[in-house]
Amino acid sequence: MGAKIPRPIKLEVIKKWLQGNSRDQIAREVGIGAGTVTGIINECRQKDLEFDLLREVAVKLKNQGVEIGSFAPLVRLREILEEKEWLLNIKREGEEIELIEKLESLIISMEVFCFKQGLSVKAFFDQVREIYWAAEKYETSLDLFPDYIKQLESNANMLIEEIRQLKQEKQHALNNRQITANLLEEFQMSRPLFEKNQELKLELEQVKDEKDGYKIDLYHERLWKRKEQEIMWSILERELDKANKELGSGRDRYYYTQLLNPPKLKAMVMDVYNHPSKYIEVIRKMMECYDSYYKEQETMI
């Protein structure tokens, strides 16, 4: 008893047999004996009574230049129709023909529609798929999707109208203020100059504040100088009285009090200071008194 033939070899033999190859050719290509090929074919005939019929169809198609593999999508389509129970009771007389005719009518109608719309069939299916995805994205069913699109269109039109009204209101506001787009553009162009002017205004205000501060400081300084002058030219009342008594001895009291006062004394001193040549004798006597007094003071020290 020989070894069991592996399944991959059986499938390869069946595939090549259905493609119309001879036993000897299959044996050479697969690398097995011709008797083994015959045994595999006989086993398939026992399991499928239409096995030879399938090979005959495959051979005829091959002779006409048609590959059996091109029928795979049709087989898959039939399986899908059976899953959807669209082929139930298909054996009833005329029903299969009626279904096929409906499918053909659908395909032809779709082709005509695509032709009129200037679309390829692929583009049509792509659009259908996009519609389906859009319906899923916006969580609505396909039967309600057209109404949903209309609602979106209505909302979009309302927004467009609102935008138009806002633009009109904006232009109206600009016209009321006699502002045009050109003026706004000019303002934007001159904005650096405007900002520089604002900076200069701030600097000017700061300078004015500093100037006012200097004025106040100058006023205070002058005030203090005036006070210092007043203090410097002030004279003790007892000294003034003593001088007036000496100057006005032998005269009545009212008279000698008017002989010398601080303003008069200051005027006299300033005149001596400014015109010493007029008072040579007076200055000589003053110097003698001054030197004598301060020498006496130094001797006491």
Q: Is the pLDDT of residue 41 over 70?
A: yes
Q: How many CB atoms neighbour CB 1 within 10 A?
A: 3
pLDDT band at 82 (very low <50, low <70, confident <90, very high): low
Lowest mean pLDDT among 18-22, 49-53, 105-109, 179-183: 179-183
Work out the mean pLDDT of the chain and round it to a whole number.
77
* CA geometry: angle 123, 126, 131, nearest 5 deg: 130
Task: Render pLDDT for 55-67 as a digit per residue (tens, 0 to 9).
Answer: 777 777 777 766 6
DSSP 32: S
Token representation of residue 102: 């409906």
Q: What is the pTM of this model?
A: 0.30
Q: Is the pLDDT of residue 275 over 80?
A: yes
Going 148 to 150 to 152 to 154, the CA torsion angle's sign is negative
Q: What average pLDDT does the segment 108-116 reach?
A: 81
Radius of gyration for the chain, computed over Cα atoms and rounded to the nearest angstrom: 65
Token representation of residue 186: 């000019």
Token representation of residue 248: 């006005």
pLDDT band at 146 (very low <50, low <70, confident <90, very high): confident
